[in-house]
Amino acid sequence: MILTEICKRVLLTLTILTAASTCARSAGWELVFSDEFNGDKLDRTKWATRYLYQNETMDHFNDENERYRDGHVVADGALNLIAKKMPGSVSLYESAMIRSHRTFYYGYYEARVFLPNAKGVWPAFWLEADYDIDGKTWHPPEIDIFEYVINGVEDKANSLHSNVVGPFSAQQYSYVDRSFELKFQNIYGSEDLNQGWHNAGFVWAPDKISMFWDGKLIYTRNYQWLRSDGKLGPPAHVDLNFAVGGSKWAGRHGIDEAAFPQTFKIDYLRVCQYTTSERGGRQCGPSELTPDPKQFGYSAPLNDMAKPAFLGVSKVVAGKQPKAGVLALSTSDKLDVEIPIKVPEDYPSNRTLQLTVYDKATGSIVASTNAKLQLEADKRRPDGTIIAVASLPAVQRPGSYILFGGLTADVANGSGAKQTLPSPVTCSTDVVQPAKATVCKLLNLDVQAQSQ
């Protein structure tokens, strides 16, 4: 009896030690977003091809010479962002960029890149603040993982810039590799950096950042992702863009027009976040250059900003059910829509639900309605889902349409004036689309003439 009890205690001790060991081993990097660019076209559910500003249509900054178009090619396992002279233009270049729809707080970011080689090029890999919970944008914060500028004088093919937007102080650095010049925040290589493939890696933690080049630590410095008012900034999206020229930097000493077209190649992009769960691992995906999570892991309550999620819609017209995101109806069917929306805790109550029906053929709005979003506690399901109800008139003309849903908020701008902005949401409906958006495609509507 005594021996049996001792055995039980030994087994219990071993079980506890094994569990503790397992937990210790499991903490590490979890792959949360990636694109290996192995297909033949860009995945539009992951990427946009313009900046966030001007209703997500902005195609350049300041006096840069490029204009972003869909000048990209996915082939041979890589994304090619191509910059070339615009036909009939004296100074403008058609180029390309990608911006992740997905947003993040913190993590390890890695891209394998092949850099272009011409005076005037300016490819970059950076993290930019997205919308806040009300739909406003903020700058700063910004993290420039790298900017590769060749202007032929101050910046040549062997140098690479890496910095953050905010106050600069040399005392903020806890480690600096001898290849990194603090005065200019530049890496200087012994040879040109555009002669082969390179890995750019970056750890963004709540209180510091670390930059890696081909697996080598370049610097670690203190940094906090703060807005201009000192509050935590919105989550970040990832930008990979190929700028050209600009009088202040890349085009300061002219552009070598004869050297274009030029290509900025990206083999893959991976984002991992640190976790103490069993999902954690030593590497970020298959990358052997991942920094050790024991040294560069962090503790943070956030990995993204909580956003309302539009869920699949099944109740629109009595007696008719959608199939695979398509609802067949007639020109006499009034739309009485019930929309499940999963709303985060403590979400602001000043939201208006907007429903809009667009004609696919013309892009015109054929019906719309607004309704205040009701967030009463007694109307919530245990998982936070509410049912928003709204009505729209029957679509009078046969054709193909899309029913969109979104949320708006009345907020003050910088001068205190009221403005109505779309609030960021996530889309988990039966229609294929980016997960994060300002409006969600709820259903495709196939409208037929009413039978006689």
Q: Tell me: the pLDDT tens digits for 60-89?
A: 999 999 999 998 999 999 999 999 999 999
Q: Where in the chain is the domain with CATH 2.60.120.200?
A: 28-296
What pLDDT shows up at residue 141?
A: 95
CA distance 204 to 145: 10
Residues of the chain with CATH 2.60.40.10: 309-448
Q: Which long-range contacts (CB under 8 A, 24 or more apart) does 154-158 make?
A: 154/252, 155/186, 155/249, 155/250, 156/192, 157/117, 157/192, 157/193, 157/194, 158/188, 158/189, 158/190, 158/191, 158/192, 158/193
Indicate the fold that domain 309-448 takes in CATH.
Answer: Immunoglobulin-like (2.60.40)
Above 90 in pLDDT, residue 58? yes
At residue 171, the pLDDT reads: 66
28-296 CATH fold: Jelly Rolls (2.60.120)
pLDDT digits (tens, 9 = 90+) for 193-237: 999 999 999 999 999 999 999 999 999 999 999 998 889 999 999
Q: How high is the mean pLDDT of the chain? A: 92
Locate 170 and state its tokens.
């040399």
Q: Which distant-in-sequence residues (6+ apart) come within 8 Å of 384 by Cβ? A: 342, 343, 344, 345
Nearest to 325 by CA among 422, 435, 404: 404
Provide the pLDDT for residue 10. 38
For the cut 70, the answer to whether the pLDDT of residue 17 exceeds it is no
Residue 168: the pLDDT is 53
Which tens digit of pLDDT belongs to each residue from 307-361? Answer: 999 999 999 999 999 999 999 999 999 999 999 999 999 999 999 999 999 999 9
